Structure 1
Amino acid sequence: MSINWTYALVTPDALVTGALSRTLAAFRSAGLDPVAAELIRVDVDTMLRLYDTPPGSRPVALPPPRAFRLWYDLGPACLTILRHDGAGACAAMSRLKGATDPAAARPGSIRHAAENVLMNLVHCPDDEPSALAELDLLVGPRHAEALRLQAAVADDRVRLLTVGTVEAAAPLFAGPHALSLPLAVNRVRLRVVQHLAITGMAVPDVLLLLEEARLVLLEERGELMGIETSPARIAAARARDGRVRALLRAAARTSAMENAVDRLSEVLMGSSEGWAPFLEAIRAADVYLSATESAVLEQSHYL
């Protein structure tokens, strides 16, 4: 049987409400295999372009742009590439997501548990041509091509480094560790691993370096979450910083990503450099940073 594919954008409301894990499980139960995933920032202009109707079609009534902005400022979206044995991946995903209005969504569909017609947990394309075009809009043509390659020839190492890391990389919205500096750095570094795994799949040795970095970061995460005090967490993270930084720098494929890796280490190690260069480096590397994480990392420059 031929292999078909699509993508799903698990929207910020799913991340905020803790629905990411069960959404990924729903994909699998419907025969849609997540082969790559990463946390991305989406904006109102991009989403409105996704919802544009083709010429000659009946216009779709959409909420005002302000509603989209409020929605997407909540947190990241999780872009997930899904493979499906046989034809009909887009149709299978459309059936699984359910009706736009949660009140009309059938029980068992993803959107049945959603809040409203905008915060309805997931977006997916109608067909494969739409999937191709929408990926370009969401992440740019070059990164979209790397994702399409993964859809065509899935690599279990990339699956582990991206799908297998996405929940640990997700921002925290509450709880005892939401404001921890070293844990914020840890999560952002895991997003670096995701990004590099997708863009560097064809580069020799990159995935080996990233597999090691992932293990070190997950070990660090477990250690830090078991430490009660902030000073002790910072000391433990600084003790591991050199190894993590070396692995990520060796795997980085661009100067922008190397700069982001270096800036993350500088923040963790207590650098007094200004906040603007750090933020510029993270944005240039296209790595997601939540509002809470941004506040935690910026605050460290002032204390």
Structure 2
Amino acid sequence: MSGTSWSYALVTPDALVTQALSHLLAAFRTSGLDPVAAALIRLDAETMLRLYEIPPRGRPARLPPHRAFQLWYDLGPACLTILRYDGADACAAMGRLKGATDPALARPGSIRYAGENILMNLVHCPDDEPSAVAELHQLVGPRHAEALIRQATLSDDRVRLLTVDTIEASVPLFGGPHALSLPLAVNRLRLRVVQHLAITGIAVQDLLPLLAKARLALLEERDELIAIQTAPARTAAARARNRRTQALLRDAVRIARAPAAENAVNRLSDVLMGSSGQWGPVLEAIRAADVYLSDTESAVLEQSHYI
């Protein structure tokens, strides 16, 4: 489409922990940067250090040590957001919005003005489109990166609905009355499977309508579970819904020909229903499906095997 460009914003773990994601998505839109796809990913120190190896404008010439990066990514997930811009230079527009690397030097109104320090400054973005392509390949691997770039150049509103419009419902909980709820943890992980398939399986015929049905079922379940006060009643309600939800997810992963995702959704169903044998295969299945799992969620799911 003539006159448009794209970039990405990596909303960093500090922004997820401080519940700033909604504010940042709104800030992108206000600045004309349209979020068209989003995914929760795990950062690692080695990858982030590679992104900062060549210090372009605005970045410190001397980086903090490896341990500082490790502490940063261990806080939680990052939200990788693909942005389309009605103009020639989305990367420049995002650069103006993010502000200086050091929050002490960022202008009021910029995103990083509210940051904590030069690492925990809420968002990272590339300096230009070639950097965006190279960095996405480092962050999520070639297949996932190319699927995201396809969304950047030819967006699909169905993918936006399944990812951007659902991302906050899938974010791990860092506190509150439902942070340790097993059925709600399974619900969030299933939503992440839906989001991953929506991006990587965009070209698969008939997949997105199935994912849309699964998304709706999961959001309806989420609303019901949040309204229930006791853990046994939440578990009973989730189990009552499981057959329909699992059927939708199983159809989706089979159409997508995604055996790793199929194994993950089957394992999650077993955990919810109390029929999972050992924790190790469940953990391996979630990791193989490339779905983010927080430390708290991992503990909740693993504990269910012992109690």
User: Aligning the two structures, in what range does the TM-score lie when normalised by the shorter sequence?
Assistant: over 0.9
1:59 Cα deviation after fit: 8.1
d(CA) in 2 for partners of 1:54, 1:33: 27
Partner of residue 216, structure 1 = 217
- Give the counterpart letter for 1:44 in structure 2: A
Please state if 1:178 is matched with 2:182: no
Cα contact 1:53–1:59 (8 A) shared by 2: no
1:60 Cα deviation after fit: 2.2
Structure 1 residue ranges without an equivalent (≥5): none
1:162 Cα deviation after fit: 0.2
Cα contact 1:12–1:71 (8 A) shared by 2: yes
Please state if 1:286 is matched with 2:287: no
Please state if 1:79 is matched with 2:90: no
Structure 2 residue ranges without an equivalent (≥5): none
d(CA) in 1 for partners of 2:72, 2:87: 35
Deviations 1:87-117 (CA, angstroms, capped at 9, x unpaired): 0100000000000111111111000111111
Partner of residue 239, structure 1 = 240
Partner of 2:133, secondary structure, is helix
Cα contact 1:7–1:80 (8 A) shared by 2: yes
Partner of residue 61, structure 1 = 62
Partner of residue 266, structure 1 = 270
Task: State TM-score, norm by structure 2.
Answer: 0.96
Partner of residue 152, structure 1 = 153
d(CA) in 2 for partners of 1:27, 1:246: 36
Q: Residues 292 and 59 of structure 1: is their aligned pair in 2 closer, same or farther, counting only changes over 3 Å?
A: closer
Please state if 1:203 is matched with 2:207: no
Partner of residue 130, structure 1 = 131
Partner of residue 188, structure 1 = 189
Partner of 1:297, secondary structure, is helix
Please state if 1:276 is matched with 2:280: yes
Please state if 1:41 is matched with 2:7: no
Cα contact 1:9–1:122 (8 A) shared by 2: yes
The share of aligned pairs that are identical, in percent, is: 76
d(CA) in 2 for partners of 1:272, 1:158: 32
1:272 Cα deviation after fit: 4.1
RMSD: 1.3
Partner of residue 251, structure 1 = 252
Partner of 1:271, secondary structure, is coil
d(CA) in 1 for partners of 2:263, 2:179: 25
Deviations 1:43-90 (CA, angstroms, capped at 9, x unpaired): 0010001111179xx982111110111110010000000000120100
- Give the counterpart letter for 1:97 in structure 2: K
Partner of 1:102, secondary structure, is coil
Partner of residue 27, structure 1 = 28
Partner of 1:208, secondary structure, is helix
- Give the counterpart letter for 1:214 in structure 2: R
Task: State TM-score, norm by structure 1.
Answer: 0.97
d(CA) in 1 for partners of 2:60, 2:207: 46
d(CA) in 2 for partners of 1:235, 1:142: 38
d(CA) in 2 for partners of 1:267, 1:291: 17
d(CA) in 2 for partners of 1:236, 1:224: 7
